[in-house]
Amino acid sequence: MKIGIIGLGKMGFNMSLRLLSGGHEVVGYDTSPKTREELAAKGGSAANSLQDMVAQLPDRKVIWMMVPSGDITESTLSEVEKLISSDDIVIDGGNSFYKDSVRRSARLSEKGIKYLDAGTSGGVWGLEVGYCLMIGGEKEPFQYVEPVFKTLAPPNGYKLVGESGAGHFTKMIHNGIEYGVMQSYAEGFEILRESKFELDLEELAGLWNQGSVIRSWLLELLELALRDDQDLTDIKGYVADSGEGRWTVKEAIDLDVPALALTHALMRRFRSRQEDSYSDKVLAALRNQFGGHAVKTAVSKSK
């Protein structure tokens, strides 16, 4: 199948390479000329514009967007919408908010354009091991593009999970769960590190992946991260979030679901970005006031 890929970042570029290795034809567009050249050197076709990309695709065009969620997705889709026709297929493989996907699908359907929202998980390892694909939308366009899904995913790694929006909804919850699992590993390994035992944390992570009930790919990645430096000396404890953890917590609130662990994991990421939390200052001050507990004096900073 010949497919257009918009966005040749870490995910989009590797997905293009996996498709090429699977016998598909890829026409790639990115705002970076260097990235376009790199794709062409790997056997893909580089497009100099969205118009050029669409012109290189056959009838019943299939276009996969791998761009950041939000305004960029909205503006890119608006441009693509002007260039394609009824029965063409657009796939959004980014981390879009599922309600935006429902709205976009309804808008495109008025013109007969088919829209699939594809929650995509696999990160930088997807090129080697494949991508888990959670797809929302109608059955007919899903079946038409299925050869592409089959190439991108490992065995049993893709599925039409529901109507429009379901793909990005399930990916949102997937990422919320990911926050909680990561936070559990982070807290557990800090306890291990602070214990009186001289533990090899890399070896322990490897051990737990051999039949343990907490074995996982994330634990395998932690083993790799600990291999060179178990103190993680060169890594600052600042943890960003892509937004899907926030959306998951908001959805839990809307549905009256007590998602305690997932909410805590999100709040802990916020805490990681504070050098000296004001809330911790308040706690220290209160302990001093009611119990006379000592406080550590902060080094004054000149303004």
- Per the annotation, the verdict on 163 as an active-site residue is no
User: What span, in angstroms and rounded, lies between the C-alpha atoms of 255 and 184?
Assistant: 24
Of the residues 61, 171, 223, 244, only one is catalytic, namely: 171
Of the residues 146, 163, 178, 251, only one is catalytic, namely: 178
- Per the listing, tokens 């399930």 go with 170
- Of 46, 111, 45, give the one whose Cα is nearest residue 84: 111
- Per the annotation, the verdict on 178 as an active-site residue is yes
- Per the listing, tokens 């343990």 go with 212
Active site residues: 171, 178
